[in-house]
Amino acid sequence: MALDPKKTFTDNEVEERLAVDLPQWKLQDGWIRRTYRTSSWKGTLMVINTVGHLAEAAWHHPDLTASYAWVEVRLMSHDAKGITERDFQLAKKIEEVVGWQPGTEPETALEGTPRGDLRFSYIKYD
């Protein structure tokens, strides 16, 4: 069964859903938001490009604000004038991809970026 892409959630429903599914995200001024701390401008650009790719593939476009060492992602469905299932699903996908730490997974050949070497730093993981 397809979910109604324009059904909006109340602030209480959004807060409850974020607490369970996306604890690093918050509701503020009608948007769900997450700030990713990065280690450098290179990391900031990598986050922006990752979010851009996921958003374009999903055909749902966030607002972004960026500086040298952080990126804020804001989601709200403009056409529905509120937070919808599309916002939650895109936030979850962004969280999965941007927050991925291959070096922490069991039984993986992917070691992740070298820890402690600022030349290779990317995201400051929560």
String of DSSP letters for 58-99:
HT---EEEEETTEEEEEE-BTTTTB--HHHHHHHHHHHHHHT
pLDDT of the residue at 46? 95
Q: What is the pTM of this model?
A: 0.90
The structural architecture, per CATH, of the domain 24-100 is: 2-Layer Sandwich (3.30)
Domain boundaries, the chain: 24-100
pLDDT of 61-100, one tens digit each?
A: 999 999 999 999 999 999 999 999 999 999 999 999 998 8
